[in-house]
Copies of this chain bind each other. A is one copy, B any other.
Amino acid sequence: MTMAEIIDGKRFAEHLRAEIGRHVVRLREQHLVTPGLAVILVGEDPASQVYVRNKARQAREATMASFEYRLPHSVPQEKVLELIERLNADPAVHGILVQLPLPPQVDADRVINAIRPDKDIDGFHPINAGALATGGDGMVPCTPLGCLMLLKHRLGDMSGLRAVVLGRSNIVGKPMASLLLRESCTVTIAHSKTRDLAEECRRADILVAAVGRARMVHGDWIKPGATVIDVGINRIETPDGKGRLVGDVDFDSAAAVAGAITPVPGGVGPMTIACLLLNTLEAACRQHGLPVPAGLMEAAWG
């Protein structure tokens, strides 16, 4: 049985973060600028706490400044907006991230729209979504950016390849489609209403699965030799009661057919945080009128 190449996102992310760290040091030495990342966490959601902790730790490891704001679950929306206003104006803060989900009294759209677009390192502000959709310059959401890096590393020029994006969320599916279109792929967005998902997927040279359904994509949905990027992180039950994380792709059957595939965990996940740091670094450069470091991705893998 042929086995696909396993795309080691964890290792790539480590290299990328190290490369980012070197740039941060250089930025401080040459320009007295330390990129600053502010993370806002509302409430006590355990998963969100883990994410926020990891983001802050990796920012510090890259010798960035990390600012954490923990607000109670009952915080009024106005208080969140006031904090964002303050961070928008704070020259030590170059990137602002609001951990989602938010409690019901806080309107996520209102909050995201309040972030200064050039500090919106998640790339969720409509100005940034619009820039991505129309080929302009803006912040690109971290998860699809991480997927793109893994794809570029594996495939190089993707022009003319057939890409199928499974899922149409604003956070992954839609921006992923825009990025692949920018790379001149022929892009199809498939989703829950698509009539024959398996058939659509089987046409894909590049398949990005981002639907949040455990192991939905089986080996017989995959074109032999295709590159498969699995964005899903789903917890399933196991007999020992500990549970286990799996992707949207059934790894074993898919790896027997695909040319290359990302594992879960250790594939896309680590790239997301690395790209958050990359966006923060770039935001710091732009806000100080400095050139944005180029070739970071290539150097990281190098």
Residues of A within 8 A of B (CB): 109, 125-136, 138, 159-160, 162, 168, 170, 174, 177-178, 181, 184, 186-191, 193-195, 200
Contacts and interface: CB of A to CB of B under 8 A. Distances in A.
Contacts of A128: 130
A204 B148 CA distance: 27
A193 B188 contact: no
Output the residue of A127, A134, A181, A200 with the most chain B CB within 10 A.
Answer: A134
A186 B194 contact: yes
A131 B126 contact: yes
Copies of this chain per assembly: 2
A187 to B, nearest CB: 5
Contact of A186 (B138, B181, B200): B200
A126 B133 CA distance: 9
A181 to B, nearest CB: 6
A184 B159 CA distance: 26
Contact of A190 (B125, B133, B186, B190): B186
B188 A186 contact: yes
A186 B191 CA distance: 7
Given A133-B178, A170-B135, A187-B188, A160 B194 contact: yes
- Report, nearest first, the 10 A-B pairs whose CB atoms are least far apart: A130-B130, A126-B130, A129-B130, A133-B133, A184-B193, A188-B188, A186-B194, A134-B170, A160-B193, A160-B195
Contacts of A189: 177, 181, 186-188
A100 to B, nearest CB: 14
19 contacts: A126-B130, A126-B134, A126-B136, A126-B138, A128-B130, A129-B129, A129-B134, A130-B133, A133-B133, A133-B174, A133-B178, A159-B193, A160-B195, A177-B189, A186-B190, A186-B193, A186-B194, A186-B195, A187-B189
